[in-house]
Amino acid sequence: MKKLIPVFTAVLMMVVFATTVKAQVTGTATGTASIITPIAIANAGNMNFGNIAVSATAGTVVLTPAGTRSKTGGVTLPAVTGTVSAAAFTVTGLGSSTYSITLPTTYTITSGANNMTLGTFTSTPSGTGTLSSGTQTVNVGATLNVAASQAAGAYTNATGFPVTVNYN
């Protein structure tokens, strides 16, 4: 009997440790995803600087996002303005989302072999917009650089300039 007590004690200890000590445990988690409306941008109106008269001195025409223009240097803005308009874009996406606006650095318009560059692009809203109801209009203006004695003509670029939007 004395020899059985240590054996029973050893078996009892093994059973106790086997039921209370676990070498491996498992936890669980769920995976979720939310698919949101893609952000989109569409042209709602092209940029037009209107009629411009030039001289032997270079100048610029600044077109604001509100569609007003001013001049510097040897440029004259005639009383017959022609069509003057800032570019307009409609941005759509997930309501209440904010997004960034990236404007081009420069853009060239041509008339035959002659060209002019646009630069210093500005927008309203500027830099960041908010799709409060899932849509917003972005208006874009720029500065047109007019050379001294710039050749007469209708200047354009059929490919258009890029305005990029991206969710923040």
Q: What is the pLDDT of residues 56-77, one digit of tens each?
A: 999 999 999 999 999 999 999 9
Q: What domain range is 130 assigned to? A: 40-156
What is the pLDDT at residue 45?
98
Tokens 């060209």 locate to: 115
Mean pLDDT score of the chain: 92
Tell me if 84 is assigned to some domain: yes
CB 43 within 8 A of CB 93: no
- 101 assigned to some structural domain: yes
Residue 24 inside a domain? The answer is no
**Quick check: 18 pLDDT over 60?**
no
92, HSE (Cβ side, Cα atoms, 13 Å): 6
Above 90 in pLDDT, residue 123? Answer: yes
From residue 105, alpha-carbon distances to 13, 53, 118, 122, 138 in Å are 79, 25, 8, 10, 17
Say if 5 falls within a structural domain: no
Tell me the average pLDDT across 151-165: 97
Is residue 149 situated within a structural domain?
yes
Residue 50 lies in a domain: yes
Tell me the percentage of the chain whose pLDDT exceeds 70. 87
pLDDT at 21: 57
> Does the residue 141 lie in any domain?
yes
Strands 128-131 and 106-111: unpaired
Q: Residue 11 above 90 pLDDT?
A: no
User: What's the predicted TM-score (pTM) here?
Assistant: 0.82
Task: Please report whether residue 32 resides in a domain.
Answer: no
User: In total, how many domains does the chain have?
Assistant: 1
- The pLDDT, as a whole number, for residue 25 is 92
In this prediction, residue 23 carries a pLDDT of 81
Q: Is 105 exposed, middle or buried (0-12, 13-18, 19+ CB in 10 A)?
A: exposed
